[in-house]
Chains A and B, each alone.
Chain A
Amino acid sequence: MNAIVALALKDLKLLLRDRANAFFTFVFPLALAVFFGYVFSGMYGSGGEGVGQLPIAVVDLSGGPESRAFLADLQADAALEVTLAATQAEGEALVKKKKVGACVVIPEGFDEAAGALFAGKTLEVRAYVDPTRGAEGGLLTGKLNELAFRRMQGAFTDPAAMRKSLDNSRAALDQSDAIDPAQKALLFDMFDSITKAQGGLAAAPDGANAQGGFNGWKPIQVTVEKLEFTTAGRAMPTSSYAVSFPQGVVWGLLGCVMAFAVSLAGERAAGTLLRLTVAPIGKGAILAGKALACFLACLLVQCLLLLLAIGPFKVRVPDWGVMLLVVVLTSFAFTGLMMLLAGLARTEGAAQGLGRAVVLILAMIGGGTIPLFILPAGVQTFSKVSPFTWATISLEGALWRGYAWPDMILPGAVLLAFGLVGFVVGVSAMRWSSST
């Protein structure tokens, strides 16, 4: 065991001392993650700015003239793209399918409340937003408040609606036992005064009503809730860095695989493998030492990138247990890939060539260049042949796809299989001297 640790520490030391390898394993992935995170910071989640037209679903459960008018206001708003939904469940389903960013519900009683505002009724609107679209959620809250206020203001400036509201309020006040008779009398006097004044409002030109005496009164309640997303594969990134850091990890893993595969081929060519072979440690220990070094480097590069992601870049890890599993399985899979490459390549040049020809391509289609969920469906399917794809899926699952333990069974099993196949084939194909 001591020899394996010595071998691994030696390889890690050599990795860190080789400036090119250290750069491509640790610095380049970080630079890439930060760069792409910054470039695409407008595309996802809380990092998003400059949002265009927001698609929403609207459910009108009230079905009266006031709710229809409110719906018309929503449809007329240039910032919103409205899709009608029959039920709240249907609207929420559209959110989860990413068809819309939010589901706005005009609840039953909206019309009743609009007609009895003076009786203490509240004009209520509820919205259920995609949790990954923080910026749009904020926009929608403001927009709903604005439109609901406009509706209420419209009711006060419409003499008929105002009269109806006052009548409704007077009737509700009359039936109430909770209010002191003296207060009731005062309120009835106030309603009468408003009714008298309303005669003047009705006669006044439209422009003169705009600054009426009810401007500061906002008996409106807009409730915005985030929908819970528990179904894997339907979520969107919480920020651009949640996408770019898995991309960075892909390049870091590529750096590890290349560095250690080339180093093993290089040891064969340089003769150090010969010296290791004649030591009393066995070939298994030599390979275990090399594998341990690669495994630790994969762990290190992932931990380093994750620490930076959750630190300065505020990427959230919902479940650290799942993340730990992902990091360990990914490290195992890529250690196996390194062994495969080292076993198949007879020379350093062959290892580098295989790396460029095969591993680089696998990394590129596996989420290294373009985020997987943006790729066309056909390419996404094809990319399943790449272990990088499964690493990316797993990392994204742990970062923002909302993966729970059961969701990790398939990608975990695939990563495990990649690792095992790499080990078995790589060790079987291994040549211990340059002449044989």
Chain B
Amino acid sequence: MLRLENLVKTFGALRAVDGVSIEIRPGEVFGLLGPNGAGKSTTLAMAVGLTAPDSGRVEITGHGSPTSPSSRRVLGIAPQALALYHDLTAEENLRFFGRLYGLRGSALKGRVDTVLAMVGLGDRRRDRVKTYSGGMQRRLNLAAALVHDPALVLLDEPTAGVDPQSRNNILDLVRLLASQGRTIVYTTHYMEEAQKLCTRVGIIDKGRLLGVGTVDELIARHGGKAVVTIERDDGAERVESDDPMVVVAKAAAAGGTLRGVRIDRPDLESVFLAMTGRRLRD
């Protein structure tokens, strides 16, 4: 669906994106995981044709360059900034963006109704955006990316700075979009979100793509072993193992009183730590 080939982008002395190549398959939710300033947004900007790469190439399968009109019709982007008109109502914002994609009349009205329902803002549709909470604005930002019914949706940090309710709403929405067969590119620095939502994940840091795969593949490759902590009356024992359940079974069979057992499986945080020597939120 979307192919990025060896993308390079520099801003002055800063090499913001350094040779990133990814092929995103139709219908998958692809997570681009990395800390702030890793190059996620710049990669996304090149993917939608907003920023021209210094070198490399972007292709929307079947449509060519992302700047071609046909590519733009299948692309929907929710930028990290709230790209909305705050003095317009939610409905006016969506109607305006829909018209830019050629929607008219009942088709436009239908899409506006649909996306407002999807993000749970139907009852506030006639209120001006400036009266919304941050979370509601974030949901409307997402709705604006969907009003023209795009096949490829790019979400840049869609849950940044939102309340738990809006966060859950957005995550549910991403699942819904995925179930409808849309291809989703999702950038985040929240490991949990990538782990919950994404079919595949790309780890990016300092402009370089460090690894791509399913969550399990990445963990298996880079996450290290699970850590089993067994607590007895005389103290606690930590054991690293590829198969923690075997360790737990052996501890139970060894006799004595087990006061507690904790299994710490490797996650994407472990993967990132293993790959970069830093934590995601450092």
Which residues of A come within 8 Å of B, CB atoms? 2-3, 6-7, 10, 13-14, 17-18, 270-272, 274-281, 432-433, 435-436
Measured between alpha carbons, how far is A277 from B52 in the docked complex, in Å? 13
A10 near B101 with CB under 8 A, answer no
Cβ contacts B3-15/A at 8 Å (1 or 0 each): 0000000010000
Additional A-B contact list (16), CB under 8 Å, known A6-B99, A270-B83, A436-B51 = A2-B99, A2-B102, A2-B104, A3-B100, A13-B88, A13-B92, A17-B88, A18-B87, A271-B79, A272-B83, A275-B79, A278-B48, A280-B70, A280-B73, A433-B45, A435-B51
Pull 24 A–B residue pairs with CB atoms less than 8 Å apart, ordered by A.
A2-B102, A7-B100, A10-B88, A10-B92, A13-B88, A14-B85, A17-B87, A270-B83, A270-B84, A271-B80, A271-B81, A272-B83, A272-B85, A274-B79, A274-B81, A274-B83, A275-B144, A276-B100, A277-B50, A279-B97, A279-B100, A280-B73, A433-B50, A433-B51
Of residues 7 to 46 in B, which have CB atoms within 8 Å of A's CB atoms? 11, 45
Measured between alpha carbons, how far is A35 from B83 in the docked complex, in Å? 41
Give the nearest-CB partner of B11 in chain A: A435
Interface contacts (Cβ under 8 Å), in number, total 71
Residues of A within 8 A of B97 (CB): 275, 279
Measured between alpha carbons, how far is A436 from B84 in the docked complex, in Å? 21
A271 near B83 with CB under 8 A, answer yes
Give the nearest-CB partner of B80 in chain A: A271
Closest 10 CB pairs of A and B: A271-B81, A271-B83, A280-B72, A279-B100, A6-B99, A280-B69, A17-B87, A275-B83, A272-B83, A271-B79
A270 near B82 with CB under 8 A, answer yes
A278 near B77 with CB under 8 A, answer yes
Residues of B within 8 A of A271 (CB): 79-83
Cβ contacts B199-231/A at 8 Å (1 or 0 each): 000000000000000000000000000000000
Residues of A within 8 A of B50 (CB): 274, 277-278, 432-433
Residues of A within 8 A of B51 (CB): 433, 435-436
A278 near B82 with CB under 8 A, answer no
A278 near B99 with CB under 8 A, answer no
Measured between alpha carbons, how far is A349 from B101 in the docked complex, in Å? 31
Measured between alpha carbons, how far is A417 from B190 in the docked complex, in Å? 54
Residues of A within 8 A of B69 (CB): 280
Give the nearest-CB partner of A11 in chain B: B85
**A270-B83, A280-B101 are known contacts. Are A275 and B11 too (CB-CB below 8 A)?**
no
Q: Is B75 an interface residue (CB 8 A)?
A: yes
A3 near B81 with CB under 8 A, answer no
Residues of B within 8 A of A18 (CB): 87
Measured between alpha carbons, how far is A435 from B46 in the docked complex, in Å? 13
A278 near B72 with CB under 8 A, answer yes
Measured between alpha carbons, how far is A14 from B75 in the docked complex, in Å? 27
Measured between alpha carbons, how far is A276 from B100 in the docked complex, in Å? 8
Give the nearest-CB partner of A263 in chain B: B85
Residues of B within 8 A of A436 (CB): 51
Closest chain B CB from A44 CB (angstroms): 41
Closest chain B CB from A157 CB (angstroms): 81
Q: Could you say which of A270, A271, A432, A433 has the most chain B C-beta atoms within 10 Å of its C-beta?
A: A271
Measured between alpha carbons, how far is A280 from B70 in the docked complex, in Å? 8
Measured between alpha carbons, how far is A274 from B48 in the docked complex, in Å? 10
Closest chain A CB from B105 CB (angstroms): 12
Give the nearest-CB partner of A16 in chain B: B87
Closest chain A CB from B250 CB (angstroms): 56
Give the nearest-CB partner of B148 in chain A: A279
Give the nearest-CB partner of A435 in chain B: B11
Measured between alpha carbons, how far is A275 from B140 in the docked complex, in Å? 13
Residues of A within 8 A of B75 (CB): 278
Measured between alpha carbons, how far is A13 from B92 in the docked complex, in Å? 10
Closest chain B CB from A222 CB (angstroms): 64
Measured between alpha carbons, how far is A17 from B49 in the docked complex, in Å? 32
Measured between alpha carbons, how far is A17 from B79 in the docked complex, in Å? 25
Q: Is B96 an interface residue (CB 8 A)?
A: yes
Residues of B within 8 A of A6 (CB): 96, 99-100
Closest chain A CB from B12 CB (angstroms): 11
A279 near B79 with CB under 8 A, answer no
Give the nearest-CB partner of B52 in chain A: A436
Measured between alpha carbons, how far is A274 from B154 in the docked complex, in Å? 13
B49 near A278 with CB under 8 A, answer yes
Measured between alpha carbons, how far is A370 from B137 in the docked complex, in Å? 47
Measured between alpha carbons, how far is A7 from B75 in the docked complex, in Å? 20
Q: Could you say which of B85, B100, B102 has the most chain A C-beta atoms within 10 Å of its C-beta?
A: B100
Of residues 96 to 129 in B, which have CB atoms within 8 Å of A's CB atoms? 96-97, 99-102, 104
